[in-house]
């Protein structure tokens, strides 16, 4: 039977040795995938530590859950469905990812081990470019010297001719019609046509250009990683043949400087998959690799589904009445 230490070894193998081998290695400064992330807000920074974050190395593991980001919902689902170890793509922080309480208490009561990868997993496969219809000939995971600023420049696949082809490819691969259908069902069953869901609201879009515009070479970046108009300008100088910008995982909206720069440079601008779909882009390959390394373990995917509901229509009439009375009696100033 697999143990926590075997999961760690599998993650180290599939990332080519990028994981921390012990809880003390993070302070050595020798692992480039141990990265400090901070916006300069006092007390809110975090150190990414690829590998085992919490758990006993000798604990047995029968079931592994792969997710993007740990939340209290993830922890509760894991405990209720017999999961022994959670592997999250994104880093975990005390209280922030564990319902406002300490990780050791929350994961401890459910005997859950936890692993994280994030930057250590980036760059290990070309899946995200492939999904977006191109094959990179230049890649960087720290473009412009910014850790985590992932950039790919690539030529489109033979089946891609126009930017409309790119959009259609993404919608088919992500099964966008099913997400739209499920949202319509929820709206109907809940009697609320104002419900919104991330995958549908943040679907693939063309910001600059037309569906019929030809595409041959793309600059594929992720705005939330620190990508700037200056980076785009430099990449266009280095690769003048690039005709299209793809922003994925995160995106920008009309009026953003990146959109203006793309227009100035005469380039198309596409918003590809949003962060809500990274569970397919990075989570599914990671989960499959774990299953290949540890065939004796059951591996499941935890997919988030975030919805927006008007306050006046959320939940049952009774819960709305509860909220109204509590707010009026105890929370009024």
What pLDDT does residue 35 have? Answer: 87
How many Å apart are CA 298 and CA 277, to the nearest integer?
22
- 320 domain residue, yes or no: no
Helix (H) or strand (E) holding 221: strand 217-221
What is the SS3 assignment for 273? strand
User: Is residue 65 located within the same domain as residue 156?
Assistant: no
Q: What is the CATH number of the domain that holds 245?
A: 3.40.1390.30
Q: Are residues 145 and 110 in the same domain?
A: no
The answer on 61 and 18 residing in a single domain is yes
- If asked whether residues 135 and 96 sit together in one domain, one would say no
Rounded Cα gap, residues 162 and 145, in angstroms: 32
Structure tokens at 151: 């950039």
Burial of 310 (0-12, 13-18, 19+ CB in 10 A): exposed
Tokens (6 digits) for 283: 């989570």
User: Within 13 Å of residue 222, how many CA atoms lie on the same side as its CB?
Assistant: 24
* Same-domain pairing of 162 and 66: no
Range of the domain at 112: 4-121
What is the CB-side half-sphere exposure of residue 202 using CA atoms within 13 A?
Answer: 21
Q: How far apart are CA 215 and CA 163, in angstroms?
A: 6
Contacts of residue 28, defined as CB under 8 A and 6 or more positions apart, other chains included, come to: none
Question: For tokens 């430099």, what's the residue?
Answer: 234
How many folded domains does the chain comprise?
2
* Residue 306 belongs to a domain: no
Residue with tokens 């037309």: 210
Reading the chain (333 residues) residue by residue, the pLDDT tens digits are: 999 999 999 999 999 999 998 766 766 778 888 988 899 999 999 999 999 999 999 999 999 999 999 999 999 999 999 999 999 999 999 999 999 999 999 999 999 999 999 989 988 899 999 999 999 999 998 899 998 899 999 999 999 999 999 999 999 999 999 999 999 999 999 999 999 999 999 999 999 999 999 999 999 999 999 999 999 999 999 999 999 999 999 999 999 999 999 999 999 999 999 999 999 999 999 999 999 999 999 999 999 999 999 999 999 999 999 999 999 999 987
């Amino acid at each position: 039977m697999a143990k926590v230490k075997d999961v760690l070894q599998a993650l180290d193998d599939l990332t080519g040795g990028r994981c921390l081998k012990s809880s003390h290695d993070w302070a050595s400064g020798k692992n480039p995938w141990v990265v400090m992330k901070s916006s300069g807000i006092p007390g809110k920074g975090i150190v990414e530590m690829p590998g085992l974050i919490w758990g006993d190395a000798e604990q047995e593991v029968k079931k592994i859950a792969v997710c993007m980001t740990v939340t209290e919902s993830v922890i509760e689902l894991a405990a209720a469905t017999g999961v022994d170890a959670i592997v999250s793509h994104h880093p975990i922080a005390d209280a922030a990812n564990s319902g406002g309480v300490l990780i050791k208490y929350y994961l401890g009561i459910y005997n859950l081990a936890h692993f994280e990868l994030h930057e250590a997993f980036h760059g290990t496969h070309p899946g995200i470019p492939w999904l977006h219809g191109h094959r990179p000939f230049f890649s960087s995971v720290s473009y412009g010297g910014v850790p985590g600023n992932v950039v790919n420049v690539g030529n489109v696949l033979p089946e891609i001719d126009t930017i409309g082809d790119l959009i259609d490819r993404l919608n088919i691969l992500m099964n966008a019609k099913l997400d739209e259908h499920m949202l319509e069902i929820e709206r109907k069953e809940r009697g609320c046509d104002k419900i919104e869901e991330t995958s549908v609201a943040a679907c693939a879009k063309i910001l600059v250009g037309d569906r019929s515009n030809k595409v041959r070479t793309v600059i594929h970046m992720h705005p939330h990683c620190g990508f700037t108009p200056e980076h785009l300008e430099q990449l266009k100088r280095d690769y003048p043949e690039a005709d299209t910008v793809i922003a994925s995982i995160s995106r920008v909206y009309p009026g953003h400087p990146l959109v203006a720069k793309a227009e100035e440079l005469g380039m198309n601008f596409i918003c590809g998959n949003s962060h809500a779909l990274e569970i397919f882009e990075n989570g599914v390959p990671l989960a499959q690799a774990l299953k290949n390394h540890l065939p004796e373990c059951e591996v499941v995917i935890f997919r988030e589904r975030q919805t927006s509901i008007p306050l006046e229509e959320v939940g049952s009439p009774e819960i709305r009445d509860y909220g109204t009375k509590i707010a009026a009696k105890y929370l009024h100033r």
